[in-house]
């Protein structure tokens, strides 16, 4: 069980503020589980940062307690909803948070340097509920880099906007993922031994691939960390994103083959709990087979030992059991999940790849004036089935001497495409360009929520000196715009919404 840290906490339990009944229990003859219970707060202990605390509840009737819930009351004038989490007792028992008559409640998402009011509810097996309020006074957060604690709020969120998310996390090169609310307040970060560039939120914990070693680690929201070292696989490091896959997570790896480094062209599906590789796609092999079968010599295009492909994102498309993969150097490519067969290619036809007939034959054609993906990142499938991506607009970097690097643009956009695979055509159906005011040439992301809001991370705006985190409501109106200093992509190379207002833990 987590111990105390250097941060001091104070607590005041306002006991038995309310007890409510549910169901058909005859309370006149027999007390409910909530009425029959006594719960006292005996300690509040600090987590590894002020955003985390552990509340010890000395409780009777723990055997009939089914789940425990907390909700952190938002600060005055906050637009973001309350951080809320529900823990089944089975989850708390499995994590070692139940001992005799003491239930320890991990509370995360606290405001730093603030007297947090936390509503705690305990539900019993007869449906009755006991409610209490706990005050948790936290120490200020000492932001090591001086980056995340004081953003420049270029546009503040207002209560009247239509944004449907309230929290997001930034993937950082200098810390763990950093969770921020849509008021600009840090709400979670923990010490981390390495970059969190390759990060995926999986079952309410962050899975992070090491950028220098073949190692995964998982950070729970209570701040505890578990390291995994997958065995028996010939890869050297993780790079770029971790993305949801068909049955596990999609990871981009560097590998070696016969002593030759295979740089950023290997995609795997991996079990996020164990690190076991479930399936692998090597795009050098995939494209070599495709090109050879159609009469092209792949040797001039597939160049082992060189960053010729540069995978930076992938998405599983369940509608046709395929993968959509971003090759920053070349194009977006869709391949069959089962065997890697090429379905289509979407990219700048002025680039080197288009000079190979076998690749050009799979290219999607767009109308004049539509923006092809160039230097793109963060591919995903939107709620309406469109291909969504951050369209950087930066030409290729590692093409053979004397060949075309393709077009360079002066601003970055978020593009969504409707794909007609049968006729090899694509339409750019959405383009958000923010008044053509931002050029983020590398890194960056754009992801959509279930109701159509979007979070954009312009990772390297202003000549790679600022990161801009922008929220769009479903009508693509800007709800907030936060600016942070950055050195290259370090601050927020990629960012995603997180449902911190409704975290549900399961056994």
* Phi, psi for 284 (deg, rounded to 5): -65, -45
Q: Are 342 and 256 members of one domain?
A: yes
Instruction: Identify each DSSP E strand in 356-412 by its residue range.
Output: 377-381, 387-391
Indicate whether 285 and 244 sit together in one domain.
yes
Q: Domain check: are 171 and 74 in the same one?
A: no
What is the per-residue pLDDT for 485?
A: 98
Residue with tokens 């509040």: 44
Question: Across all residues in the chain, what is the average pLDDT?
Answer: 92
Are 71 and 156 within one domain? no
Q: Which pLDDT score, from 0 to 100, does residue 232 have?
A: 63
Residues 361 and 468 placed together within one structural domain of the fold: yes
Q: How confident is the model at residue 19 (pLDDT cuts 50, 70, 90)?
A: very low
**Domain match, 163 and 131 both:** no
Q: What is the pLDDT of residue 194?
A: 79
pLDDT grade for 116, boundaries at 50, 70 and 90:
very high
Q: What is the pLDDT of residues 229-249, one digit of tens each?
A: 776 677 899 999 999 999 999
Is the same domain home to 99 and 239? no
Domain endpoint, select from 106, 137, 168:
137
With a pLDDT cut of 90, the percent of the chain lying above it is 85
Q: For residue 256, name the pLDDT band (cuts at 50, 70, 90).
A: confident
Q: Within this chain, do residues 310 and 422 fall inside the same structural domain, yes or no?
A: yes
Residues 161 and 61 in one domain: no
So what's the pLDDT on residue 23?
38
Whole-structure pTM value = 0.93
Which pair of tokens denotes residue 245? 């896959």
**Domain identity same for 276 and 333:** yes
The CATH number given to whatever domain includes residue 283 is 2.120.10.30
Q: Is the pLDDT of residue 26 over 70?
A: no
Q: Give me the pLDDT at residue 29, please.
A: 66
Three-class HEC string of 286-343: HHHHHHHHCCCCHHHCCCCCCCCCCEEEEEEECCCCEEEEEECCCEEEEEECCCCCEE
Calculate mean pLDDT across residues 309-313: 98
* Tally of CA atoms within 13 A in the half-sphere of 90 that contains its CB: 4
Distance, in Å, from the CA atom of 41 to the CA atom of 57, rounded to the nearest integer, reads: 5
In a domain, 177, yes or no: yes
Same domain, 310 and 172: yes
pLDDT at 102 over 70: yes
Pick from 88, 110, 137: which residue ends a domain? 137
Cβ atoms 222, 205 nearer than 8 A = no
- Write out the H or E segment, with its range, that includes residue 221: none
CATH at 54: 2.60.40.3100
For residue 423, being part of any structural domain is answered with: yes
Find the domain containing 17 and state its range.
Answer: 10-137
Question: How many structural domains is the chain composed of?
Answer: 2
Mean local confidence (pLDDT), 333-351: 98
Write down the pLDDT at residue 192.
Answer: 85
Cα dihedral sign for 439, 440, 442, 448? negative
Do 177 and 263 share a domain, yes or no? yes
Residue 9: what pLDDT?
A: 41
């Amino acid at each position: 069980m987590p111990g105390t840290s250097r941060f001091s906490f104070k607590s005041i339990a306002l006991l038995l503020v309310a007890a409510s009944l549910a169901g058909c229990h005859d309370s006149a003859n027999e007390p409910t589980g909530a009425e029959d219970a006594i719960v006292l707060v005996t300690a509040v202990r600090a987590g590894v940062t002020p955003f985390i605390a552990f509340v010890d509840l000395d409780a009777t009737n723990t055997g009939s307690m089914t789940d425990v819930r907390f909700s952190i009351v938002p600060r005055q004038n906050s637009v973001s909803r309350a951080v809320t989490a529900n823990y089944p007792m089975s989850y708390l028992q499995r994590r070692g948070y139940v001992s005799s008559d003491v239930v320890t409640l991990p509370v995360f998402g606290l405001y730093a340097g603030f007297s947090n009011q936390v509503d705690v509810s305990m539900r019993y097996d007869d449906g009755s509920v006991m409610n209490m309020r706990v005050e948790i006074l936290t120490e200020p957060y000492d932001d090591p880099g001086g980056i995340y604690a004081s953003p420049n709020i270029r546009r503040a969120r207002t209560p009247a906007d239509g944004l449907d998310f309230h929290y997001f996390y930034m993937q950082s090169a200098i810390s763990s993922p950093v969770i921020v609310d849509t008021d600009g307040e840090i709400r979670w970060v923990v010490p981390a031994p390495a970059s969190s560039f390759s990060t995926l939120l999986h079952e309410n914990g962050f899975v992070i691939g090491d950028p220098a070693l073949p190692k995964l680690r998982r950070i729970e929201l209570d701040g505890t960390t578990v390291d995994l070292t997958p065995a028996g696989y010939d890869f050297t490091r993780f790079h770029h994103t971790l993305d949801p896959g068909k049955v596990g997570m999609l990871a981009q790896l560097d590998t070696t083959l016969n002593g030759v480094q295979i740089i950023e062209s290997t995609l795997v599906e991996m079990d996020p709990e164990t690190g076991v590789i479930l399936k692998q796609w090597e795009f050098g092999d995939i494209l070599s087979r495709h090109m050879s079968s159609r009469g092209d010599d792949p040797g001039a295009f597939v160049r082992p030992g060189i960053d010729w492909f540069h995978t930076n994102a992938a998405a599983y498309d369940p509608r046709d059991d395929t993968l959509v993969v971003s090759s920053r150097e070349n194009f977006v490519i869709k391949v069959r999940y089962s065997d890697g067969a090429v379905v289509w290619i979407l990219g700048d036809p002025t680039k080197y790849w288009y000079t190979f007939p076998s690749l050009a034959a799979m290219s999607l054609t767009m109308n004049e004036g539509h923006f092809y993906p160039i230097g793109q990142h963060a591919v995903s499938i939107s709620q309406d089935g469109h291909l969504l991506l951050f369209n950087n607009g930066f030409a290729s970097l590692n093409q053979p001497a004397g060949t075309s690097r393709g077009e360079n643009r002066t601003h970055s956009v978020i593009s969504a495409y409707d794909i007609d695979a049968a006729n090899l055509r694509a339409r750019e159906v959405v383009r958000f360009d923010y008044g053509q005011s931002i050029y983020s040439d590398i890194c960056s992301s754009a992801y959509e929520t279930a109701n159509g809001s979007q979070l954009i991370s312009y990772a390297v705006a202003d000549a790679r000196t600022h990161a801009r985190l922008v929220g769009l409501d479903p009508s693509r109106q800007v709800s907030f715009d936060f600016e942070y200093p950055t050195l290259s992509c370090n601050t927020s190379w990629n960012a995603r919404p997180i449902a911190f207002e409704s975290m549900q833990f399961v056994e």
